[in-house]
């Protein structure tokens, strides 16, 4: 049988002839990023074959075209290359990337009484552990001071886990990691598709369960806590992520009329997590198939239903989930913005790691101020950088109203910028750094994404009969939003002009809300009742949606 040597990981793997490199890597537990799940469209699973003899591999035709300069060096797509003989493969070690990812772990919250669902009682040398009113276990000695819980924000791309002392409410520490599922299938729909089959669900569930346990061990070690003294875990994430984290087939989420197989608002056993044998997992209530527990947590953390006046709460991500609250009346919706904000489908796109351009400002004289994560040379553009760039280029006229790149001869934008408009393969591209540029198709991707968010905002306002001017406050949640400036959201039209001066960034409310669910049991029944009253605004079924969406795509 042919043998593959994965050089970066130092692993030899034997496979049947004809196995793809991606499959071989997956079998061996080596992660090769494959956001499109091996369909051959995204090109992110590039690996380098080192001195591979002819006939030792076979490259199959894929939709993604490998740039000739890379093909010459020996790069192939792991998903479309079959192994026929012994070869050496250089695949980037993803463990290294994880460290430089920029993830936001803090979010706004409110004050509440410390009154967790679990409690302990000590008598006669034994500590009894209760879940609600039910006795679930007994521990030797007085363990009342060892009483911990976890609040986990399960993002499509990132996981944030906080270890919390349930006696004091203090957050002892928190840890961020890449959601390992994103390496197998990047966007929500691709993940639903993959997990609709038993082997796909097993792979995705197994990956996230292992990552949870790794994080639990690492956090406990760092904070000197015994993981057996963790009694409850809160899972806060979008509806799909909650299905995948609880090993539930998400098939129905991917087929019209898009229903969830779980409803949330209940506890489930935590048998697969390395915590107390009496422990459980609480799932906050789901609002709808595409408005998930992360938003329930957000509503709780931001206390939306208690706010006077009108507040718009948006979590900008692959799915733009949003809630509009007016004097206690709530309506929610979500729009498919696509993965552009995560740097996917963008020519020079990348995640928010070292070398990602995250700030781009054009001065009055046409000179440009930029900043990259990690203060290194720019390697690519992350989601927040992308919005920043597009917003600025629209503002100065490099991008026209319909979204086209305006050629220097016809443009009225500052002279110094005209030199940045060049041609690549006969098409106009605009350079934002030495080797980093924006293409016409990148602008189109942003138009689709921001148009979707804006259409959601407009439709939600229509549903509650609210005018742009009536919105008192706009709260942007999620780590993606936190790296943005208000102007980058408004200049390119993702949010209406009337919102200027009203935008606040509230951070990771999915986590801070999860913490409230953990520490105060009263919040659970309260929110379980409240979500029933949140009006679910279904966009794609509404005949007005197309017009609103189409209009929202312009600048």
8-state DSSP, 353: S
Q: Is 550 in the site for another protein (CB under 8 A)?
A: yes
The correct pick among 7, 440, 487, 504 for binding another protein (CB under 8 A) is 440
The correct pick among 427, 470, 525, 544 for binding another protein (CB under 8 A) is 427
CB 23, min distance to another protein, A? 17
Q: Is 62 in the site for another protein (CB under 8 A)?
A: yes
The correct pick among 88, 94, 143, 196 for binding another protein (CB under 8 A) is 196
332, 534 contact by CB (below 8 A): yes
CB 157, min distance to another protein, A? 18
Residue 69 tokens read as 């300069």
Task: Give the burial class of 389: count Cβ atoms within 10 A of its Cβ; 0-12 exposed, 13-18 middle, 19 or more buried.
Answer: buried
In this complex, which beta carbon is closest to another protein, that of residue 363 or of residue 441? 441
Phi, psi of 159 (to 5 degrees): -115, 135
CB 63, min distance to another protein, A? 4
Q: Which stretch binds another protein (CB under 8 A): 219-227, 361-369, 444-452, 453-461?
A: 444-452
SS (H, E, C) 435-500: CEEEEHHHHHHHHHHHHHHHHHHHHHHHHCCCCHHHCCEEEEECHHHHCCCHHHHHHCCCCCHHHC
Question: CA 446 to CA 553: how far, in whole Å?
Answer: 9
Strand runs labelled E in 263-348: 266-269, 280-283, 310-315, 319-326, 329-336
CB 421, min distance to another protein, A? 13
CB 54, min distance to another protein, A? 24
CB 3, min distance to another protein, A? 28
Q: Is 197 in the site for another protein (CB under 8 A)?
A: no
Question: CA 533 to CA 537: how far, in whole Å?
Answer: 12
Q: Is 192 in the site for another protein (CB under 8 A)?
A: yes
In this complex, which beta carbon is closest to another protein, that of residue 160 or of residue 346? 346
The correct pick among 12, 126, 222, 404 for binding another protein (CB under 8 A) is 404
- Bridging pattern class, strands 118-123 and 87-90: unpaired
In order of 5, 55, 85, 206, the CA distances from 2 in angstroms are 10, 12, 5, 27
**CA nearest to 489, candidates 284, 170, 478:** 478
Residues facing residue 233 across a β-bridge: 150, 281
Q: Is 189 in the site for another protein (CB under 8 A)?
A: yes
The residues, any chain, with a CB within 8 Å of residue 458's CB and separated by 6 or more, are: 548, 552
CB 331, min distance to another protein, A? 20
Question: CA 276 to CA 173: how far, in whole Å?
Answer: 19
Site for another protein in 28-57 (CB under 8 A): 39-41
For helices 293-302 and 509-519, the axis angle rounded to 10 degrees is 80
* Total of residues contacting another protein (CB under 8 A): 34
In this complex, which beta carbon is closest to another protein, that of residue 111 or of residue 541? 541
**CA nearest to 521, candidates 280, 291, 290, 330:** 280
In this complex, which beta carbon is closest to another protein, that of residue 40 or of residue 366? 40
8-state DSSP, 248: -
The correct pick among 81, 176, 190, 420 for binding another protein (CB under 8 A) is 190
In this complex, which beta carbon is closest to another protein, that of residue 147 or of residue 437? 437
Question: CA 351 to CA 359: how far, in whole Å?
Answer: 14
The correct pick among 131, 162, 405, 531 for binding another protein (CB under 8 A) is 405
- Mark residues 383-402: x for contact with another protein by CB under 8 A, - for none: -------------------x
Q: Is 203 in the site for another protein (CB under 8 A)?
A: no
**CA nearest to 553, candidates 491, 489, 494, 468:** 494
Q: Report the alpha-carbon angle 120-124-130, nearest 5.
A: 20
Q: Which stretch binds another protein (CB under 8 A): 59-67, 69-77, 146-154, 268-276?
A: 59-67
Q: Is 532 in the site for another protein (CB under 8 A)?
A: no
312, 475 contact by CB (below 8 A): yes
- Mark residues 250-269: x for contact with another protein by CB under 8 A, - for none: -x--xxx-------------
CB 493, min distance to another protein, A? 12
Q: Is 249 in the site for another protein (CB under 8 A)?
A: no
In this complex, which beta carbon is closest to another protein, that of residue 233 or of residue 552? 552
**CA nearest to 6, candidates 22, 96, 82, 41:** 22
Q: Is 129 in the site for another protein (CB under 8 A)?
A: no
- The kind and range of the H/E element at 104 are none
In this complex, which beta carbon is closest to another protein, that of residue 39 or of residue 48? 39
In this complex, which beta carbon is closest to another protein, that of residue 69 or of residue 423? 423
Positions touching another protein (CB under 8 A) are: 39-41, 61-63, 189-190, 192-193, 196, 251, 254-256, 402-405, 427-428, 440-441, 444, 447-448, 540-541, 546, 549-551, 553-554
């Amino acid at each position: 049988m042919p043998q593959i040597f994965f050089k970066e990981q130092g692993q030899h793997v034997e496979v049947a002839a004809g196995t793809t490199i991606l499959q071989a890597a997956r079998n061996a537990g080596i992660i090769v990023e494959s956001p499109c799940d091996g369909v051959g469209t995204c090109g992110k699973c590039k690996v380098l074959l080192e001195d591979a003899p002819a006939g030792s591999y076979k490259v199959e035709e894929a939709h993604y075209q490998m740039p000739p300069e890379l093909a010459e060096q020996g790069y192939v797509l792991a998903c479309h290359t079959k192994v026929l003989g012994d070869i050496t493969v250089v695949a980037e070690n993803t463990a290294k990337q994880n460290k430089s990812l920029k993830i936001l772990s803090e979010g706004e919250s409110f004050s509440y009484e410390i009154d967790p669902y679990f409690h302990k009682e000590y008598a006669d040398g034994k500590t009894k552990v209760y879940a609600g009113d039910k006795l679930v276990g007994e521990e030797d000695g007085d363990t009342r001071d060892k009483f911990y819980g976890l609040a986990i924000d399960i993002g499509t791309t990132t996981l944030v886990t906080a270890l919390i002392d349930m006696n004091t409410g203090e957050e002892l520490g928190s840890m961020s990691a890449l959601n390992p599922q994103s390496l197998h299938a990047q966007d929500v729909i691709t993940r639903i598709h993959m997990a609709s089959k038993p082997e796909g669900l097993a792979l995705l569930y197994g990956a996230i369960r292992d990552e949870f346990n790794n994080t639990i061990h690492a956090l406990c070690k760092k904070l000197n806590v015994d993981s057996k003294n963790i009694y409850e875990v809160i899972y806060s994430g979008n509806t799909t992520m909650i299905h995948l984290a609880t090993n539930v087939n998400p098939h129905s989420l991917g087929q019209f009329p898009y229903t969830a197989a779980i409803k949330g608002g209940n506890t489930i056993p935590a048998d697969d997590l390395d915590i107390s044998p009496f422990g459980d997992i609480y799932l906050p209530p789901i609002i709808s198939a595409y408005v998930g527990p992360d938003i329930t947590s957000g509503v709780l953390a931001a206390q939306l239903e208690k706010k006077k006046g009108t507040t718009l709460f948006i979590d900008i991500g692959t799915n733009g989930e949003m809630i509009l609250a007016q004097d206690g009346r709530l309506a929610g919706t979500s729009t498919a913005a696509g993965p552009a904000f995560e740097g996917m489908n963008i020519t020079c796109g990348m995640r928010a790691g070292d070398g990602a351009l995250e700030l781009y400002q054009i001065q009055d004289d046409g000179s440009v101020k930029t900043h990259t994560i990690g203060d290194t040379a720019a390697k690519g553009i992350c989601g927040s950088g992308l919005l920043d760039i597009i917003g600025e280029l629209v503002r100065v006229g490099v991008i026209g109203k319909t979204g086209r790149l305006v050629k220097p001869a016809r443009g009225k934008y500052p002279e110094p910028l005209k030199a940045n408009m060049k041609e690549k393969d006969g098409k106009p591209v605009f350079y934002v750094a030495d080797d980093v540029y924006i293409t016409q198709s990148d602008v189109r991707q942003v138009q689709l994404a921001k148009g979707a968010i804006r259409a959601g905002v407009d439709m939600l306002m229509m549903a509650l009969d609210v005018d742009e001017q009536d919105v008192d406050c706009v709260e942007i949640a999620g780590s993606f939003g936190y790296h943005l400036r208000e102007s980058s959201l408004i200049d390119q039209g993702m949010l209406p002009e009337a919102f200027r001066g009203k935008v606040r960034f509230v951070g990771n409310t999915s986590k801070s809300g999860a913490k409230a669910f953990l520490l105060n049991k009263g919040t659970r029944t309260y929110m379980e009742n409240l979500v029933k009253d949140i009006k679910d605004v279904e966009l794609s079924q509404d005949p007005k949606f197309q017009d609103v969406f189409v209009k929202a795509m312009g600048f």
